[in-house]
A and B are shown apart, each in its own frame.
Chain A
Amino acid sequence: MNTATIKTKIDTARPVTAEQADKESVYSTRQLNLWYGNNHALKNIDLEIGENEVTAIIGPSGCGKSTYLKTLNRMVELVPSVKTSGEIQYRGRNIFESSYGVEELRTRVGMVFQKPNPFPKSIYDNIAYGPRIHGIKNKKILDEIVEKSLRGAAIWDEVKDRLNENAYGISGGQQQRICIARTLAIEPDVILMDEPTSALDPISTLKIEELVQELKEQYSIIIVTHNMQQAARISDKTAFFLNGEVIEYDRTDTIFSNPADKRTEDYISGRFG
């Protein structure tokens, strides 16, 4: 697909209105630097991420896009020898503050991973896991949450008769939607998605993309993707990362039709990456 067809698609799909343009930001990143040991993986990142928007992060492998995403819920700290400087404000509070508990942050910011990673439990227990660890025990409330989350992830009809079966018995695409439903179950504010369709077939990919469109009514979504068409199809804003830096960040239609930077243009037109 060339850029021209992508552009027409965007134009017809979604006219961006003025008030959408200055929504409140959920995340403000200021002068973020990150090192893995001596490897300087993120360099002076400044990024504002808007509420109820889909923000896509694109860039070639090793450009730091997944690292940035994992920094937003501090999962990156699971890697030994990670150092950071600068700050990330989530809803006005710096997530690196020592008083900010990671559990609290991750309860507000959900994450969907590259490969579907359901828990080796029944579908029901997968969805109920989050509410349960956060103290919800009432069976009736849990039943409601499970149904609502599965409906929210557009998979209720496919699994409603097999809620007690192991989540590993369903297809990869369904597993990924179970993982999305699991995230929705604690009604987060933001959902981070790390190449959520890279391990899936085209039909499952389409379903997840449609789902993302629906979810942005209620959630702010940040999605890392290798697939530029996907970014063009589903996102409102796109950030282009290269070698740990943000080269360009703008509305998706601008990035894909009229990029300001030569490197962005080269990347989206497929000259490298």
Chain B
Amino acid sequence: MANATLTPRRSQLTKGRMPTYTLWVVLAASIVVGAALAALVGFSLVPWAIFSAILFIVAGTAVSAAIEGERKAKNRLALFLVYGAFLIALLPLLSVIWTVLERGVPGLTYNFLFTSMNGVTGAIDNQVVAEGTPVLGGAYHAIVGTLQITLWATLISVPIGLLAAIYLVEYSTGGRLARAITFFVDVMTGIPSIVAGLFAAALFGQLFGPGTRTGFVAAVALSVLMVPVVVRSTEEMLKIVPNELREAAYALGVRKWRTITRVVIPTAISGIASGVTLAIARVIGETAPILVTAGFARSINWNVFGDWMSTLPTFIYYQILTPTSPTATDPSTQRAWAAALVLIIMVMLLNLAARLIARLFAPKTSR
């Protein structure tokens, strides 16, 4: 048995563990084999990535099971799948942003931002494609409509949402009415946007005759979507205002409504403002309610109480689904993507503004 001491033995400390490079080797091997498999079905990037990923997950787990045992192999499999889920979730985001940038930037000209579609006909688009001249027509009317309708929706829903939240937090004593409001506000957040649009259309159809379509009807439809968001965020913010502040005000003999307007709201204003901004960001991209309430305009209309209006989302929708020129769709597609870019920039700016407001106007906690 003297020989036994001479045979090299694996250390007990590293037994049942994989060297760190193992998985890299497996990954490299799966990429190579994946490329070979992809070549069988006609080589391209997507099948290559899919085959490599599947091979890596299967082989990595198998190698781990052989060396480390079943429990650790399961752990690795879960790790691969969780990381994979995140990468898959990133794909559409990157793809959408890339597509909008790639196709939207060429169309984003001064002309696009500051002219409407008034007088732009299919014949003009045909000529643009045939002769390669710059695309005419733009989304000025849609930008105006978006801003107008969103402004009016905000004007309607912020007071209602704010006051309702104040009622829930400051006045109600948790009675049946308060519980009903809380419950139905939650339910309202789930109303499909098209149903909100139908409601506004039906309401104004009953009041002012069928087929009443103006910017204001759209603003009412958007308010139905916006109010619950404002209520929820304001409620959350008012709840975290310390009770000591209210009690200190009461102890000084300040009236309740003065306490609310002078102490509670200023303390919570940053959260409320950012909540409202996020609510605006949510409704500014809504398409379906506008489609059934505001009609579709080709020219500039500043008046929300009269005539049809167009917004950026409906502009995109119609430019794609019913191109201005059915035979030469490129100019319409270009306008649609440029409008999508403008819309995304607006939404992202609003989201950014919400975060900045929340940070800049946050109450100072330290002295």
Binding between chains A and B:
no
Name B residues whose Cβ lies closer than 8 Å to a Cβ of A.
none
Name A residues whose Cβ lies closer than 8 Å to a Cβ of B.
none
